[in-house]
Structure 1
Amino acid sequence: MAGGKMSARQKMINLMYLVFIAMLALNMSKEVLSAFGFMNEKLVENNISTTEKNALAYDNLATKASEQPAKFGPLKAKADKVREYSSDFYSYLGDLKTKMISEIEDKNDYEVMDKTDWLDAYFFKGDGYTAEGQEFLDKINGYRTSVIQVLGTDSKFVPVLNSRFSTAEVKVSESEKSVPFLKARYEGFPMVASLTNFTQIQADIKNTESDIISDLLGGQLESEVSMSNYNGIVQLDKNAFYPGDKVTGSVVLGRYDPNLKPSRVELNGSKYDNFKDGSVVLDLRAGSVGEKDIKGTIYFMENGEEIPVPFKSTYSVISKPNAPVVSADKMNVVYRGLQNPISISLPGVPDKDIKASAPGLRKTGAGKYMMSPQGGTSVKISVNAKLADGNSINTSSTFRIKDIPAAMGTVRNQFGTVRMPKSGLANTPIGAGLPDFLFDLDLRVTSFKVKVPGQLAIVVNGTVLNAAAKKALAKARRGDMINIFDIKAVIKNNSYKIKKVLPVNIELTN
């Protein structure tokens, strides 16, 4: 169209044609800008509606927590944290939007929001980011990490949060390399597109709150009516039988609720006040040999009225046991270096007439002993019981002796591989623990080694990174795996030497 010799009239026609095409492109661009603006308005309206619904849900949970603190108190504590983190992030985005369009007189004139220079200058500096751009990334990552910490890494919302608030690199097309999140989503975009994007993130925050609070409430209510809360209760016609007797009775379902407290209890014709965690705690004397009744009424308040729930059972008092009972309170082994509780008793025989002996065994109370294993792989406890008729019963039980298992290094009470930001690791104490171990041991870390990729391993005395370790950590990058190993730990007030503490790894999130 521009080649060859053309008349002045043809040149004018061609020029008008180009202007016409440019005008069409310009009009299409402004229509797109307006479409973004209208989408932003819809998102704003939706956020207002969701905020109101969330407020009602929070109020509902607060009411339930005040009425039934044991059931709903922990859920409210989680919800309050999620609400706090969400409010902070939502407000930050609102301030960012206000700042971005502050110089535009008509906030609804989306056709003038076609420039890219404000956000390009605010987020980017050369090939890197400004402090504001890095803050934006940190806000997204911090919100995601904080909410996951509240809910737990095993929560079903972890994949949702990782998806909604991802800052991973973006692959623009199949043939191109991945582009950093901030550049792919905000560099060179019209202002109105970024405005709508920020409002969409606010919508994600509100939807996340709504999903979590609904799940917390729904999960607790579902748990209350779940059949898993019911126990099969065996009701025998009597609780003692002679050889050859028929064992008769019935099995019924009973729901256990530790938070359901009666208004009053009558037991065997008298007022009874000993109840705890939803149960009437029986504390009676057996009396003479024979069959005894336990009967009474539990009263509960319902709609301002007392509802009586009667109960009745029987038990038998026997005169003479024929075998002693020896049991380990923790498990069928005893651990070297620890005080292992042992119970030794014989039904019908006073504690003063029972004698127990073994290497390392000492008595601490009626029927209660502590075992401190010595050498070897097993220990035998011998028991002599003197019966009321003057005869004696002698028996023994053998327990295996085991060493305390290897401990595991921890960061924020998490084992294995832990994901966290670099700034958090710098001041987070390194700990040690024994997951699923039956004894609660107070382990204290005395030293450890830290290895940053590309750096020499550094020895740290104490529980927190020293200056040299922090210097090495400063050179690490997102995705690097920091190895904490050769951890030394001791048991507080115990001379037993922990043989091994397994390492813990930290994957840096920024």
Structure 2
Amino acid sequence: MAIKKRPVSPRQKMINLMYVVLMAMLALNVSTEVLNGFSIVEESLSRTTANSAKENQVIYDDFSEQLKANPAKVKAWFDKAQAVRRMSDSLYNFADELKVAIVKEADGEDGDVKNIVGKEDLEAANQVMLAPGRGRGRKLYDAINSFRERILAMVTDPTQKAIISSNLSTDVPHNIQTMGKNWQEYMFEDMPVAAAVTLLSKLQSDVRYAEGEVLHTLVSNIDLKDIRVNSLNAFVIPNSQTIVRGDKFSAHIVMAAVDTTQVPEIYIGNRKMNLKDGLYETVCSRTGDFTLAGYIEMLNGNGERVRRDFSQKYTVVDPSATVSADLMNMLYAGYSNPISVSVPGVPLNKVTATMTGGTLQPVGPGRYIARPTAIGKDVTITVSSTNTGRVQQMGQFTFRVRKLPDPTAYIAMADEHGNPTRYKGGGLPKASLMAADGIGAAIDDGILDIGFRVLSFETVFFDNMGNAVPMVSDGDKFSDRQKTTFRRLARNRRFYISRVTAVGPDGLQRTLPTSMEVIVK
């Protein structure tokens, strides 16, 4: 497997710059709010360190495979790689222990390095690193020096040696502020927790970087980086195979195992192309299916001309998008309406949507919650695509906005199998009636299931003379008077639940126009 040695990335350079700026701001005694910036650097350093660890693990795995294939050749270098791993892990883990100790000193035993509460605490680092008799700063100082000396002995590139030596330096600058201070005092004395943790994270990142440089040096000694190929193939790598009319089709045309000392000749339709970095672009003015075809020519090691054909299909479509309300073909004011948004041929993470007349909140790829604000006022949803690197509007969609319909009152109970059910009128066993606490209300029509809060209701009974006797509830619960009346009801007697007042998720209060007839069985 090829192991590509990469220079310091722009992102890593930016992290280093952010670290320097934040340290400078801290030295100027800026407001403690600035300490939150260390969290950004800490997260970036952690990601960079994790990526370095993954790359190093790939090399370790390749060492293991090479050892199985050729033990005699690889054994010595494999053993050195394992020694590098042990001493790197030792310093890395020690720094990790110190981070935990400092955070727990500031936040207590429940302290979490990833969620520091006392970022501005100036005493925690002093106690852990500089406390007389038990401070661990001197031990860290010695560990860094030992690691640096051993690791530099394994690096042959002077430039890399200088970088590693600078990263792991324990020299103290000579100025008035540092006069008389040792390294650990210079680094951790009166240092806020957030800054101390970031310093240790930077040390961990430097350890993994140095570990990787040594591994690349060891790899080169067993030809692990050499790749010998016996096949050349031409490839077209498009940015997208589905193109919106008026947008660009972009594709990289490359040959596998390219010789970097010579540029291949690319022909499309028997016409030689002058493409920068092999990037081909053309404006797509017609819809339909198209094929990009041609061939690449280059010289092999023997000076022979090698030709490889390539072919790539792509599709050009008209601008289009799809917006559908998950519940029905309208939106309800004051309610969280689920919305699905998609564009044919465009990944969901490249599709965005906005709405007028309310809010549109993303809740997942292609999923939104729409909340219109005004009843009777249409809203417009605009869909855009960033599939080709620029924002392109794909369509606009208008929805009507209406008030939530009235709910239906019910009594919550269980059926003969113990499953929850909603009684909405008709025959009802007296035992079930007596077990019920009150009533609820909801829009429950098979499409919507929206709960309402019942504020009050009435039960209407009829005496032996046929006179109506209304009784008021206790909020959404049956009152004591109502329950006493239930106990006296004979079989086949009926009463009505009416004048139900409820409030929905839209905040509107309403009195239901219908009554529920209850027949006691």
TM bucket (normalised to shorter chain) is 0.3 to 0.5
Normalising by structure 1, we get a TM-score of: 0.34
Normalising by structure 2, we get a TM-score of: 0.34
